[in-house]
Structure 1
Amino acid sequence: MKHIVLNRIKTPDGTILISRHRHDYVTHIDDNGETYMVDGGTDYLRRNVNTEPFEEQSVYADAPHNEIRQGFYWGTRGKEGNQPVEFKPLKELDTDHIEAIIRTQTRQPGWRIEIFKAELAFRKKSS
């Protein structure tokens, strides 16, 4: 089974819609008057049918790492855990943060942890 890293479409007017987590239902009324939607985050892809098609831009865990590190987002509440949730792409997370995620997020699926480990290896190789 292919794991979804990024659930994203581009509408005909160029608007990018991203569903970041399960049941994150996102809609947009396009310049053409049609409503476009994405839903499902990294759990499933849900779309609606339109007369004018959208461009599928989802990324899967078997994509090249450079594509994954730009498309895989992690929700963070800041170092102290008291900030509003901000979704950051993997490439923008601090190395210490990634190491803490690997160490503490024991309920994450193995494929997600492997993405974090691949990012650490990528950074080590690139430095």
Structure 2
Amino acid sequence: DVTDPALPRETGSVHLGGIVGRRPHPAAPASPLSGGPQMVEISRDGRRVYLTNSLYGAWDDQFYPDGVGAWMAKLDADPAGGLTVDESFFPHGEDFRGLRVHQVRLQGGDASSDSYCYR
């Protein structure tokens, strides 16, 4: 909550992937995730948060010599506080035809970075 920018307050937390923890997505609990959330994209209404796991090819290879894989997750943000993983949204692996996933661009300019990319 950044209602008061001088006093930000944590209202929710989600853990996915990582170098050590490799926490799985709830949709695939038996599959530890390589890579952690690297790129974060927030919908303009602030209710959806999209995460992808590839930052930069050379760094991915350095930190994940066994491969970083490819995955994307969506979190739902509750206006009253808190985050939950959308269990029905989990493109990963072959969904990306062997490519790494970097940054998300939402159709119709519904993403935080679209404000400075297209205007």
In proportion to residue count, which structure has more helix?
Answer: 1
Fold similarity call, TM over 0.5:
no
Place the TM-score, normalised by the shorter chain, in its bin. Answer: under 0.3
TM-score by length of 1: 0.25
Higher alpha-carbon Rg: 1
Structure with more contact order per residue of length (Cα contacts < 8 Å, sep ≥ 6) = 2
TM (normalized to structure 2)?
0.26
